[in-house]
């Protein structure tokens, strides 16, 4: 299960403290202008050490494209790439070689495989998401040709949240602060909370919101390939994600059907405009741009819940591989809150799902 997607596919490889993280993108249409500077910019949004809110691990995270691009355009063949690891401090993990860290993948990996890479979590490390960001950047460049855009931002940290209705936010401000929140006042409060938690050797979670705009009608496959199911599976595959919702989500359970239904509006269309039905709109968007598992042409807003990072820079009780109780004092460089660096990862997964769904939809009609 190291490959994601059906027609647009990403296969990833590498570990946190190995030689490199990398991947292969297969199924990218030929002739797409692939802006390498844009791909690198997306990686820079994810890389460690970019602000005082993130891990101090210093990595350039420079992507090296190995194949699949000629004279700046995709050739239709597999796009291979690597990002070399340059700043591992593997010795920081020597005291964790034989212990199971609370709420990590240590125990489950050990029981499944009979061994595990204790250095930074190995394959279970969030450093694997480098490959997702590269794949997502390529998908974004393809979607750009179709007028489809994907944006995500930090909507909540702990109990501090900005406006939930994305239409009331200025999304051009997302990259204007280290938290990646489009509300500068709320962003300042979020940053203060993260720094306070960091100073206590603790961690905190939150919610990343996103919206997909310009999505055409018809993406998503019944019955088990519903678009929201694909988006949910993609988001839940990201490290530390605990929940996914789209449209009204859980908030809608308190309303009645008469309040939730999205009424179709003609928007100037006449009965003779049957060929223009793809221009139909809805008066509201409680459905979140998806009905029956298929996109209806409206924006697709969604939210992703992230738990607090499991690594605490304070003492914790646990068990070692021999069943003995031990006290651990983790060292190393860790994020007190993953949300700022997870924003481009969420965008990447959404972009790959939408592009894959678009390519599949193109094969369903002659």
Strand spans (E) along 17-90:
20-26, 63-65, 69-70, 73-74, 79-84
- Kindly report the CATH number assigned to the domain that includes residue 358: 3.60.150.10
Question: For residue 275, is it within any domain?
Answer: no
Q: What is the pLDDT of residues 32-90, one digit of tens each?
A: 999 999 999 999 999 877 777 876 666 789 999 999 999 999 999 999 999 998 865 55
Report whether 221 contacts 293 (CB < 8 A): yes
User: Does position 150 have pLDDT exceeding 90, yes or no?
Assistant: yes
Is the residue at 125 inside a domain?
A: yes
3-class state of residue 20 by DSSP = strand
Residue 169 is assigned to a structural domain of this protein = yes
Does this model's pTM top 0.85? My answer is: yes
**Would you call 83 exposed, middle or buried from its count of C-beta atoms within 10 A (0-12, 13-18, 19+)?**
buried
The reply to whether 281 falls in a domain is: no
What CA–CA distance (Å, rounded) separates 6 from 10? 9
Let me know how many helices (H) and strands (E) the chain has, helices first: 7, 19
Q: Is the pLDDT of residue 271 over 60?
A: no
Is 258 domain-assigned? no
- 271 found inside a domain: no
Window from 4-8, 22-26, 45-49, 171-175 with minimum mean pLDDT:
45-49
Range of the domain at 9: 3-247+287-362
Q: Which helix (H) or strand (E) holds 75?
A: none
Quick check: is 255 in a domain? no
Residue 311: pLDDT band (50, 70, 90) is confident
Check whether 333 has a pLDDT greater than 80: no
Structural domains counted in the chain = 1
- Region 110-117 average pLDDT: 88
Q: DSSP for 169-214? A: S-GGGGGGSTT--S-HHHHHHHHHHHHHHHHTT----EEEEEEEES
Share of the chain above pLDDT 90, in %: 75
**Residue range 163-211, pLDDT digits in tens:** 999 999 999 999 999 999 999 999 999 999 999 999 999 999 999 999 9
What is the number of other CB atoms lying within 10 angstroms of the CB of residue 74?
A: 20
Contact 131, 14 (CB under 8 A): yes
Is 83 inside any structural domain? Answer: yes
């Amino acid at each position: 299960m190291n490959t994601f997607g059906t027609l647009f596919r990403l296969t990833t490889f590498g570990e946190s403290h190995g030689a490199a993280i990398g991947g292969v993108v297969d199924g990218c249409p030929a002739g797409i202008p692939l802006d390498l500077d844009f791909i690198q910019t997306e990686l820079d949004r994810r890389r460690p050490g970019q602000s005082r809110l993130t891990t101090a691990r210093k990595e350039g995270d420079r992507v090296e494209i190995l194949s699949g691009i000629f004279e700046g355009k995709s050739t239709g063949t597999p796009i291979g790439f690597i990002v070399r690891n340059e700043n591992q401090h593997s010795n920081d993990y020597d005291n964790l070689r034989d212990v199971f860290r609370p709420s990590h993948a240590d125990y489950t990996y050990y029981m499944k495989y009979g061994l595990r890479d204790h250095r930074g979590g190995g394959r279970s490390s969030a450093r694997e998401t480098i490959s997702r960001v590269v794949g997502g950047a390529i998908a974004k460049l393809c979607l750009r040709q179709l007028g489809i855009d994907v944006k995500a931002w930090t909507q909540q940290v702990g109990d501090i949240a900005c406006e939930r209705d994305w239409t009331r936010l200025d999304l051009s401000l997302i990259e204007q602060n280290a938290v990646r929140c489009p509300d500068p006042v709320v962003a300042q409060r979020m940053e203060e909370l993260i720094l306070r938690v960091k100073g206590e050797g603790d961690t905190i979670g939150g919610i990343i919101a996103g919206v997909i705009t310009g999505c055409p009608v018809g993406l998503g496959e019944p019955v088990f390939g519903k678009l929201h199911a694909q988006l949910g599976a993609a988001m839940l595959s990201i490290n530390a994600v605990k929940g996914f919702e789209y449209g009204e989500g859980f908030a809608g359970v308190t309303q009645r059907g008469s309040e939730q239904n999205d009424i179709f509006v003609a928007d100037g269309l006449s009965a003779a405009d049957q060929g223009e039905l793809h221009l139909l709109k809805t008066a509201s968007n409680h459905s979140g741009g998806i009905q029956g598992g298929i996109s209806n042409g409206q924006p697709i807003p969604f939210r992703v819940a992230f738990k607090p990072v499991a690594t605490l820079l304070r003492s914790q009780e646990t068990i070692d591989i021999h069943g003995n109780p031990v006290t651990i004092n983790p060292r190393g460089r860790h994020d007190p809150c993953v949300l700022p660096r997870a924003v481009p990862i969420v965008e990447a997964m959404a972009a790959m799902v939408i592009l894959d769904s678009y390519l599949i939809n193109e094969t369903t009609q002659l």
